[in-house]
Amino acid sequence: MFINLTPGMRFMLVGTILFSIGSLLIKLAGEHVPTMQLLFLRGVVGVVLCWVLLRRSGVGFFGNRRWFLLARGLVGFISLFAEFYALIHLPLADATAIIFTHPAIVALLAWFVLKERLGKWGLVAVGASLTGVALVCRPSFLFGVGKADLDPVAVAVALAGVLVTALAILVVRTLAKTEHPAVVMAYPPLLICLIGPFFSHDWVMPTPIEWLYIAGIAISMNLGQYFMTRGYAIESAARISGITCLEMVFAAMWGVSFLGEIPDYWTISGGTLIVLGTFLLGRDSLDDTPEKSVA
């Protein structure tokens, strides 16, 4: 089946698998290693990787619109911290489901802020995704009794991270018109390396197996971002959404296989709605393509 995929879909599939593996390793390493320490070490590898890519392409490291790039780095830093925190403190499938609602938030923000068209299927997709996250989180103000096994602080951090991630994506879309992709990729890990240590005072010495986890996190997450960036550049939105939805499937598989986390009915139902919403958003974007190309 892999050979029947287009090159862009192959890049996205590899990136999706790498991200899902990185999420599992974050969960395993986070049992002992603080969140900010994991994020810092991931950032170090990210800076080195971006420096190598930019050196090979002959592009300067700091880019042209530096204040805007710094803003991108800051929101990227916050969104990555929220993602790591959620993955460590929530069941893997639940955390991934919540994180995966960011396409719906991006669509809403683009509609309100950038005045981009959101078709009827896009509106259905946003509704499905938001309903899905409500089923996963089961907040008490909607269901009477909240989902007792989910840490409310971690849920709040995850939801805040989704909003910040959506803002980061809108900033990236603006910067992509003038900056090299590796420059845009470099600023979040650069900010993590520069200011991350000031937000943590409880770092620990990892065990040998935890060092392997940390190395795996840094390599898989950064390479996953690289492959996904290449996929986004050459593939249609509908096909991209179909591939990226597999990350939630992989998260559930890793949770059952390595962590003993069995998703309940609410998580499965909510995750299914989020997958459906993401796929419909891809279809809606594809339908808009001819109109945008004319403009």
pLDDT digits (tens, 9 = 90+) for 135-161: 888 776 556 555 556 788 999 999 999
Amino acid symbol at 8: G
With vertex at residue 86, the alpha carbon angle to CA 83 and CA 87, rounded to the nearest 5 degrees, is 85
CA atoms within 13 A on the CB side of 63: 23
pLDDT band for position 170 (cuts 50, 70, 90): confident
In this structure, how many other beta carbons lie within 10 angstroms of the beta carbon of residue 269?
15
DSSP symbol at 258:
I
Return the percentage of the chain with pLDDT > 90, whole number: 27
Mean pLDDT of 160-186: 83
Q: Which residue has the tokens 């320490």?
A: 37
Backbone angles phi, psi at 91, to 5 degrees: -55, 145
State pLDDT tens for residues 60-88: 888 888 888 998 899 989 999 999 999 99
Residue 203's alpha-carbon distances to 74, 79, 191, in angstroms, are: 22, 21, 18
Domain range for 228 is 2-294
Show the tokens assigned to 80.
């990555």
DSSP symbol at 101:
T
With vertex at residue 177, the alpha carbon angle to CA 120 and CA 192, rounded to the nearest 5 degrees, is 95
Label residues 155-176 b or e (16+ Cβ within 10 Å = b): bebbbebbbbbbbbbbbbeebe
DSSP symbol at 257:
I
The least confident of 20-24, 72-76, 208-212, 227-231 is 227-231
Domains in the chain, number: 1
> Higher-confidence residue: 143 or 170?
170
Residue 63 backbone zone (phi > 0: left; psi -120 to 50: alpha; other: beta)? left
What local confidence, expressed as pLDDT, does residue 65 receive? 84
What local confidence, expressed as pLDDT, does residue 284 receive? 60
User: What is the C-alpha separation between 97 and 116, in angstroms, rounded?
Assistant: 25
Tally the residues of the chain.
295
> Higher-confidence residue: 166 or 21?
21
Cα 56 versus chain centre, distance: 26
Contacts of residue 264, Cβ cutoff 8 Å, sequence gap at least 6: none
What local confidence, expressed as pLDDT, does residue 165 receive? 86
> Higher-confidence residue: 22 or 288?
22
